[in-house]
Structure 1
Amino acid sequence: MHVLLGLALGAIYILLAAGLTIVYGLLDVVNFAHGVFYMLGAYAVFLVISLTGSFWIGLASAAIITGLIGALAEVFLLRPLYEKHQLYPLLLTFGFSVAVPDLMKVVFGLIGKTVDYPEALSGFILLGNIPFPKYRLFIIVLTAVVMTSLWLFLKKSDLGMVMRAATLNSRMVEALGIDVARIWTVGFSIGVGLAALGGAVAAPMVSASPDMGVDITVESFVVVVLGGLGSLAGAVTGGLIIGQVVSFVSLFAGQYSKVAIFIVMFIVLLVRPRGLFGEAGRH
């Protein structure tokens, strides 16, 4: 049971870590506002469900709407800072992480907004003799589908291959006549869209609240560092490991579950400073 619960939690970490990895790999930007987009995804699913009554429309809309917000933020706020000091984008995203939650408190109030489980996914399903929540099983399956689709997109599609090339050498790609700035926008939009999807699927379990992205941002960075900066395989592996750690530590000593993930990261980095799948160096 706790292995499966850990998989469900790890699935949310994977979505967030994969988004961080894409943004860092393409733009070389450490996005401290990643938890903000996670939170915006939760509020987006709440608003769309309120308007349409459909959880499924809300889930798809949350990723799309937040991805578009991310694209606008990249074009008008981040892009002017790329040619300036490398700390400026970091400081901007940090400012976002402080300002946007306060704005959401003004608009929506301090009380979290509950999101109902879809009727088809409420209750339990028997896995062998073990009752397991249908919704958490859905999260595991959804994340597997999303990550497989993302891998196929990056490996097989023309745009995905251009994105991978831009990650390795953006100047070479630009020299071939490709609009690298547009690739950066698409990559940032995909990255924050994955974070928003994580927030949308988490909303029925934790409710949408302005500060819900604070802790998850730190935990997402732990997953990325554990797996290795810039590695999607590392994001998946790190998410699975941290999900299991939190699940099993919560079983025996719940108050130490958050501390445990930092201990695991510390141990891994002592043995392998670049993370499990990280490259030996970066330009």
Structure 2
Amino acid sequence: MLQILVPLLIDALANAALIFFVAVGLTLVFSVLRILNVAHGSFYSIGAYAAASIGLWIVGAGLPGWLTFPSLVLSAALVAGLFGPLMEKGLVRWTYGKSEAVQILVTFGLFLILEDLQRMVFGVNSLYEDTPMQLLGSIEIGGVVYLNYQLLLIALAVLTIVGLKLLIGHTRIGRLIAAVVADREVSQAMGINTDRVFMLAFTLGVFLAALGGAFATPTSGVTPGLGADTMVLAFAVAAIGGLGRIEGAAVAAVIVAVVRVLAIYYAPAFDAVAPYIVMLVVLLIRPYGLFGSVATRRI
């Protein structure tokens, strides 16, 4: 029995780690900026393309293979540094305070632009670079072989959760973010530069999404359309956990990943719809998500 359950659990947790990076970035942006960024999935796929391209260049240049590990984080940092401030200042900032319909339409337009930009830069062929996974190899536990890279992903997701909680609760920028989330107008009256907080929060969200894409590259590669598939799944996870809740994104990612893995193993026909069935059930019972709460809204 354990020989069946343990591999399922490892697969689910590794899958949950990748989903978590995207969903937590989405929920962080929503909690601070109060916008549903439909283009968020594009940053995931751009991070994946950047990581694959840099990794292939490292291998092709004959450089040490271990350089592909820091290149994954570097790829996400480059995507965040390039697109975060540019998109927030140039486009997203103009949607603050607008209706949800306007925000969704604007960010959906941005999503279409970014998807076409990816095709122009990277073409329509798939990219695959698995050096980090090959270097780490595998380990056998109880007669079952696991990829060490999968275990690394789980550890990195846990470290990210801890890091975000420490950032929000024990740093100056974290306290500024918490103040803006609590009351934007009062924060402005107190002299907090909310525009800078918004830009930093949006850039951090882009970094987390791109990081998820970069970490996914060694296991699954990157193909055209990856951003759209990831975005829909990230919305489901964020909705299940409760928009704006970091711990909710983590728990929801695990739930969705477990359901997907069980569907793949036992009911492949339901693989694609299983996460959304879970979302439907959760939202019917708790419309504000597992960790969300009812809040007053100014109209």
Regarding TM over 0.5, the answer is: yes
Distance 2:26 2:256 in 1: 16
Instruction: Give the counterpart of 2:178 among 147, 151, 164.
Output: 164
Q: Secondary structure at the match of 1:131?
A: strand
Aligned to 2:15: 9
Match of residue 276, structure 2, among 253, 259, 262: 262
1:24 and 1:257, CA in 2 relative to 1: closer, same or farther beyond 3 A?
A: same
* 1:59 maps to amino acid: L
SS at match of 1:107: helix
Q: What aligned pairs does 1:1-283 form with structure 2 within 5 A after superposition?
A: 1-53=7-59, 54-68=67-81, 69-118=83-132, 121-283=135-297
4+ residue runs of structure 1 moved beyond 6 angstroms? none
Q: Please give the alpha-carbon distance, in whole angstroms, between the structure 1 residues aligned to 2:284 and 2:254.
A: 20
Q: Find the aligned partners of 2:215 and 2:19 in 1 and give their Cα distance.
A: 12
Separation in 2 of the partners of 1:58 and 1:166? 33
Output the TM-score relative to the length of structure 2: 0.90
Tell me the TM-score normalized by structure 1. 0.95
Cα contact 2:14–2:151 (8 A) shared by 1: yes
Change (3 A) 1:83 1:277: closer
CA distance in 2, matches of 1:119, 1:220: 24
Structure 1 residue 51 displacement after superposition: 4.0
Name stretches of at least 5 consecutive residues in structure 1 with no aligned partner: none
Letter aligned with residue 62 of structure 1: S
Partner SS, residue 167 of structure 1: helix
Read off the aligned partner of 2:132 and give its amino acid letter.
P
Tell me the SS of whatever aligns to 1:118: helix
Structure 1 letter corresponding to 2:160? V
Q: Contact conserved, 2:11 with 2:261, CA < 8 A, in 1?
A: yes
Q: Give the Cα–Cα distance (whole angstroms) in 1 for the partners of residues 201 and 141 of structure 2.
A: 38
Q: How far, CA to CA, are the matches of 1:166 and 1:138 in structure 2?
A: 34
SS at match of 1:273: coil
- The letter of the residue matching 1:20 is L
**Residue aligned with 2:131, SS:** coil
**2: distance between equivalents of 1:121 and 1:44?**
20
* Other structure's SS at 2:267 match: helix
CA deviations on 1:2-28 (whole Å, 9 max, x unpaired) are 011000001111111110111000111
- Aligned-pair CA distance for 1:86: 4.5
State the distance in 2 between where 1:87 and 1:99 align: 18
Amino acid at match of 1:105: R
> Percent same amino acid at aligned positions?
34
Cα shift at 1:155: 0.8
Question: More deviation in 136-145 or 90-99?
Answer: 90-99
Q: How many residues align?
A: 283
Deviates more, 1:245-254 or 1:83-92: 83-92
How far apart, CA to CA, are the structure 2 residues paired with 1:248 and 1:117? 29
AA partner of residue 66 (structure 1): V
Asked if 2 retains the 8 angstrom alpha-carbon contact of 1:67 and 1:192, the reply is: yes
Q: Which runs of 5+ in 2 are unaligned?
A: 1-6, 60-66
- Paired AA for residue 33 in structure 1: A
CA RMSD of aligned residues (A): 1.6
Counterpart of 1:32, as a letter, is: V
Q: Distance in 2 between matches of 1:272 and 1:83?
A: 26
Cα drift, residue 209 of structure 1: 2.3
